[in-house]
Chain A
């Protein structure tokens, strides 16, 4: 499939920077355009990591929820069971995997508010910490530097 997704995103950045930006005379609009280009560049670099990241996060979170399951109240335990029973089978359906991720993270949030044992709580913290280092959608350098 050509141009590939990455080629299309990179090409958009080139056109915006070389053709559109020189025609913009408002400093405010130009700054916004630059921030949009930065974001498209980030997407170009990282979009392909998203499916793998979600698959890893879902797998690890399912394990955590199993660990937390005995500690939580009955109602939450039932909801964990129901969510795990509905796990998407097709890992290439990225939208379904993303929705499942949100569901698992909601359950994790509720587990944290419940009476977890210290080791389980620590395991969740360790996973959340690992997740921050693997998270693919991160944009740096978004703060303005220009003198006013």
Chain B
């Protein structure tokens, strides 16, 4: 349902306390009231909608995540559920479109890919002050470094394989039947060029100083951009830090804000990127060789080692642009985290480029 169909008051933003008192309390109550109004229009056959326990979670670097408890009466019986308001912050590491993310999540509801059910989107920020969406909270825990955590090796390997199986499921989504090709746009066999263009635009927008390293690498990427046989659904930030776990199983994949159609090796390049090894690899037993073999078994796709290295370089370049976006937002005063020029990433890219050449 679109925001315009819900009758509520003016937009609201909850501000953080800055002086030791709690000036956010009144605005928080107003946000709860607005959430209740929105849900009243969204939940079918509902009345007596109440919202409570609203709290901003400390996770999520790109969006504000507000958890809350919703209670409502439906056919005479009280129901309840934990929900999440995902709202664009004033400044972020990523500038993405909530409407687009909403479309992806809606499309995934008809597939085997486990993703959080979404209920409502305010793509223009009319209600909550900036673009937002409401989704159900799925039970589970998230651990960025679960593959190198305290679990026994056997369990960690089981999860590692689970992540590759999940990636295969994502790539098997029928992008035409689900409407994703229409909604997201299909670059065909030119996914690499399409991604370079998109992230170069962002790079030009956010860079604060001359960065010959980034320009040199961009030129290298352009000259060697691979073609693919076709396009698949790409998550865009596939990692344990964006998954929920229950026991030893992956229950949900989160954060679809950078999802798009593109080259099948793009997400694999993100996973095998040496700069993110601590998140995706287990030294000696689950490294590039094992990951690629598992991917080929799960998808039936041959992986060209040089092409995968290209995607590793691209992943580092894209991540560098994301960090530069954070730097830009910090300097303009809209982000409360400090980011620095990602020089450590430059070194990674120079090393990978030598392997290709």
Q: Which residues of A contact B (CB under 8 A)?
A: 23, 26-32, 35-36, 39, 102, 105-106, 108-109, 112-113, 124-125, 128-129, 131-133, 135, 137-140, 142-148
Closest B residue to A111 using CB positions:
B212
Q: Count the B residues whose beta carbon is within 8 Å of the partner chain — how many?
A: 34
Q: Is B346 an interface residue (CB 8 A)?
A: yes
Chain A interface main SS type:
helix
If A26-B56, A125-B350, A145-B145 touch, whether A135 touches B209 (CB-CB below 8 Å) is no
Chain B interface main SS type:
loop
* Residue contact A35 to B337, C-beta cutoff 8 Å: yes
* Residue contact B215 to A28, C-beta cutoff 8 Å: no
Q: Which of B56, B143, B219 contacts A112 (CB 8 A)?
A: B219
CB-defined A-B contacts under 8 Å, sample of 8: A32-B337, A105-B210, A106-B210, A113-B215, A125-B216, A132-B344, A132-B350, A146-B58
CA distance A133 to B210 in the complex (A): 18
* Residue contact A135 to B341, C-beta cutoff 8 Å: yes
CA distance A147 to B243 in the complex (A): 11
* Residue contact B144 to A102, C-beta cutoff 8 Å: no
Which residues of chain A have C-beta atoms less than 8 A from B213's C-beta? 128, 132
**What is the distance, in angstroms, from B89's C-beta to the closest C-beta of chain A?**
11
* Residue contact B143 to A32, C-beta cutoff 8 Å: no
Chain B stretch 131-150: residues in CB contact (< 8 A) with chain A: 141-145
* Residue contact A31 to B58, C-beta cutoff 8 Å: yes
* Residue contact B212 to A109, C-beta cutoff 8 Å: yes
**What is the distance, in angstroms, from A79's C-beta to the closest C-beta of chain B?**
13
CA distance A95 to B60 in the complex (A): 36
**What is the distance, in angstroms, from B216's C-beta to the closest C-beta of chain A?**
5
Q: Is B211 an interface residue (CB 8 A)?
A: yes
Chain B stretch 149-205: residues in CB contact (< 8 A) with chain A: none
CA distance A49 to B241 in the complex (A): 35
